[in-house]
């Protein structure tokens, strides 16, 4: 049975991801920092784990690759995650551990829409070629694929799932 370790597994996108990984037959562990997060992870059927993450699959963002107003610090942190992804893939490949990152564009969740604002978030959907924002379920499908044996030769990569935004 494949194992998956998820950070943010009690959050909006994380809960969808945990459910999909469990549906695919993965043994899922969720990094938690509070009793409430541990309870959410357990309720989903995952094993809550307390501690610090030192590697594995990562979530980046297109903000690491393009300039986005008011997102400089966030983009810089995500660019660092992409560098860690490549380095960890090289370091851990001898142990048959694959490390990849997924870089989504805009994903529709309540917390993101609240932070950005409904009108601005809707306007952003018009920027990418697909003319819409992603759902958490769509992002989870990409992550599940990258974590699966179907992607067994993929490591050290940043998989962009942005509706074509970086292509234009």
Residues 30 and 150: their CA atoms lie apart, in Å, by 23
Report residue 96: phi and psi, to 5°.
Answer: 60, 35
Q: Which of 35, 45, 74, 129 is catalytic?
A: 74
Which pairs count as long-range contacts for 10-15, CB under 8 Å and 24+ apart, including other chains? 10/36, 10/37, 10/40, 10/41, 11/111, 12/109, 12/110, 12/111, 12/136, 13/107, 13/109, 13/136, 13/139, 13/140, 15/40, 15/44
Cα Rg for the chain, rounded, in angstroms?
A: 16
Give the total residue count for the chain: 168
Residue whose pair of structure tokens reads 């074509």 in the numeric block: 164
- Concerning whether 124 is annotated as a catalytic residue, the answer is no
Residues 45 and 101: their CA atoms lie apart, in Å, by 24
Known catalytic residues?
Answer: 74
């Amino acid at each position: 049975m494949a194992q998956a370790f998820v950070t943010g597994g009690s959050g909006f996108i994380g809960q969808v991801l945990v459910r999909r990984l469990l549906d695919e037959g993965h043994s899922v562990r969720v990094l938690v920092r509070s009793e409430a997060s541990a309870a959410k992870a357990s309720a989903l059927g995952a094993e809550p784990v307390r501690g610090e993450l030192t590697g594995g699959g990562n979530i980046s963002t297109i903000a690491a690759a393009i300039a986005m107003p008011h997102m400089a610090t966030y983009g810089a942190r995500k660019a660092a995650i992409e560098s860690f992804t490549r380095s960890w893939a090289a370091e851990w490949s001898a142990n048959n551990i694959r490390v990849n990152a997924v870089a989504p564009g805009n994903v529709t969740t309540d917390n993101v829409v609240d932070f950005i604002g409904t009108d601005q978030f809707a306007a952003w959907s018009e920027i990418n070629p697909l003319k819409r924002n992603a759902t958490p379920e769509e992002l989870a499908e990409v992550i599940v694929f990258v974590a699966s044996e179907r992607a067994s030769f993929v490591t050290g990569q940043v998989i962009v799932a942005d509706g074509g935004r970086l292509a234009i």
